[in-house]
Amino acid sequence: MPDGVNDRSSHQAFEFLSGLESKLQASQRQPLVLSEAVPEQLSVRPSPLTASPLTASIVSTPAEVLDFTAFVSSLAPEPGMLSPRFFLASLLPRFCRPCVVVVSQGSKVAGLLYTRERVVAGIPTGIVLGDDTLGAMIVARPEETESVMQCAVQALLKHKTALRFRVASDHLALLQAQTAKANAEIHFFSQEFHAHLELPRTYDGFLAKFRSHTRHNFCRYRRRSELAGNEFCPDLSFTEFCVAAQGLFPKEAHARHESNFRQCLAMIEAMPSRILIGLRRSTGEWVSLAGGWYAGDRAVLNLQLNDRTCVRESVSLVLRSYLIEQLINRGIREVIFWAGTSAPLSYYITHREEYMTYVDSRSHPWRLVRLACVTLAKLAPATFGKWLKWDAPDVNGNTEQKDSS
């Protein structure tokens, strides 16, 4: 879709949701001051380390979030995706702002829950989003993780209108329990977000997993690329990668918003151990680039750009063959493709038990807002479905609920 059309659609969605949010805010008595502590002591099971009750506060500015860098580093010397810097890099300021719940025990911080709040035209909507599919939503000691999450979710249920979480099955049970206590509605359904590809100990073993046609294509297109004089660059500097990516982005085969492109680069930059690879002509022209990071014995790929004029050469497949061979040689046992991957690798990924969870206030104003979001997304799914998919449980009609209360 042309950028002009996207911008007009975005503006229409912003105006629509802004009007709805104004009505919702007018019905609320008093908004939460996000930089101040929630005054009540929440009824949560104490940490196993002490008998002191847990309390929660919510911070919403980047500076406040960065203040917890030392705390996170004290729990994980190499925090990676748990670092405040990475969390902030993952945000799109135009669409959301930080909403980090700080759980404390007396004067001591016990843990953090990383979430973000949707904003429309700069106005906070009360819709809070959290994603734990890669284990980067909760910062706490292992024995305190459940207590920290319970306290944080109670604080969000008390002061926000709607919660949207991507979680594994163990956290789903916790959300159900907290929702029942708060007399809120919960809907959830299975969802596959990231694509997980397990890697064997050798590249030949990896190829052996494929059907003969796929295996043949992996070898054939890579051989053709090498005969054509293309060069695989296995370890680019971040500066060199950014320059190359900015040049290749206008020719990218699957167009994306520039804001998403910048977000991917920021997330890669925030990680200490990066994947920065590329494929270029003998003339120096880049035809494919891929970026991501290492997380223990896993690799996460969140950006790949391919020259759309090279479709017949399958440069995407060629670069991934080099990448996977490099990862296997490094001892990596799993590669995660952020937000999924295409064929042929999509036929060989493993599926995780993950759920998209919608928790909603039972207030009448919010019910009206949610109904309006559902209706608008159904009437114009191509235009508004993407904007509203987090807001309402049955956007585009593809969210068959497995449970509700």
- Give the model confidence (pLDDT) of 172-217 as tens digits: 989 999 998 888 999 999 988 899 999 999 999 999 999 999 999 9
Instruction: State the pLDDT at residue 378.
Output: 77
Q: Which residues of the chain have pLDDT under 50?
A: 1-8, 25-47, 49-50, 395-405
CB atoms within 10 A of CB 147: 22
Dihedral sign computed on CA atoms, order 264, 269, 271, 274:
positive
Burial, 103: exposed, middle or buried (Cβ in 10 Å; 0-12, 13-18, 19+)?
Answer: buried
Give dist(CA 269, CA 238) in Å, integer.
7
Phi, psi of 45 (to 5 degrees): -60, 130
Dihedral sign computed on CA atoms, order 136, 137, 139, 145:
negative
Instruction: State the pLDDT at residue 29.
Output: 35
Burial, 260: exposed, middle or buried (Cβ in 10 Å; 0-12, 13-18, 19+)?
Answer: exposed
Residue 391 · residue 127 · CB < 8 Å: yes
Instruction: State the pLDDT at residue 170.
Output: 83
Alpha helices by DSSP H, 124-184: 145-159, 169-182
Whether omega before 344 lies within 30 degrees of 0, making that bond cis, reads: yes
Instruction: State the pLDDT at residue 201.
Output: 96
Residue 9 · residue 35 · CB < 8 Å: no
Instruction: State the pLDDT at residue 16.
Output: 54
Instruction: State the pLDDT at residue 364.
Output: 79
Instruction: State the pLDDT at residue 284.
Output: 96
Domain boundaries, the chain: 3-192+353-404, 195-347
Give dist(CA 371, CA 395) in Å, integer.
10
Instruction: State the pLDDT at residue 383.
Output: 66
Give dist(CA 258, CA 250) in Å, integer.
10
Structure token digits, residue 58: 């919510």
| Burial 64-97, CB ≥16 within 10 A → b, else e | bbeebeebbeebeeebbbbbbbbbbbbbeeebbb
**Cα end-to-end span (Å), the chain:** 39
What is the reported pTM?
0.85
195-347: CATH, from 3.30.70.141, 3.30.1330.200, 3.40.630.30, 3.40.190.10: 3.40.630.30
